[in-house]
């Protein structure tokens, strides 16, 4: 338990010290349905427009139609743009109540802070997506160990959010695209 608590404290400090500015524009998740070889998939897309003054960005809370008790995939940096000059890990946070606040920043200045409520940092999903795509399968109730940057087991929570945490300011004005894919119910 002490190791888990220490992990969460260190994760929060890492996030707090990596935020230099957060004047990016984010959208809500946009849903489409795709039929591939007779199987329907729900596809949600999220875009954050960042600039060279940003060093982090995050998604809106995962869409309500996502069934977190079933397997789903998330694609980071789906447009494969160069976002960061150094490294860009992606973290996932989870929330357990309708009051969950996924760190929307309280201030747009350089001293901005996260305002986490009823949520916690869960784990790093990708080590580095600065100029490459990252694809992670989320498998609830997986009985084997996580496969780094490929397959992870997450607690079944009603809400999630993703954070791209740069170690330097971003490379320029780009769109950071995140996609969630899940087989439609009944298929």
176-185 burial code (b ≥16 CB/10 A, e <16): bbbbbbbbee
Instruction: Give the predicted TM-score (pTM) of the model.
Output: 0.80
Residue ranges for the chain with pLDDT beneath 70: 1-26, 101-116, 186-187
pLDDT tens-place string over residues 34-84: 999 999 999 999 999 988 888 888 888 888 899 999 999 999 999 999 998
Q: Are 66 and 72 in contact (CB under 8 A)?
A: yes
């Amino acid at each position: 338990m002490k190791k888990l608590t220490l992990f969460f404290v260190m994760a929060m400090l890492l996030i707090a010290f990596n935020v230099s500015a957060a004047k990016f524009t984010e959208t809500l998740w946009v849903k489409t349905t795709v039929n591939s070889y007779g199987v329907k998939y729900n596809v949600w897309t999220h875009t954050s427009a960042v600039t060279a003054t940003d060093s982090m960005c995050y998604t809106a809370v995962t869409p309500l139609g996502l069934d977190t008790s079933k397997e789903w995939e998330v694609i980071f940096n789906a447009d494969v743009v160069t976002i960061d000059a150094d490294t860009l890990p992606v973290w996932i946070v989870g929330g357990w109540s309708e009051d969950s606040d996924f760190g929307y920043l309280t201030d747009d200045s350089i001293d901005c802070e996260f305002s986490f409520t009823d949520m916690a940092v869960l784990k790093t999903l990708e080590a580095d997506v600065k100029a490459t795509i990252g694809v992670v399968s989320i498998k609830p109730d997986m009985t084997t160990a996580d496969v780094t940057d490929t397959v992870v087991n997450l607690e079944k929570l009603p809400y999630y959010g993703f954070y791209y945490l740069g170690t330097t300011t971003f490379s320029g004005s780009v769109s950071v695209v995140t996609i969630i894919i899940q087989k439609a119910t009944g298929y």
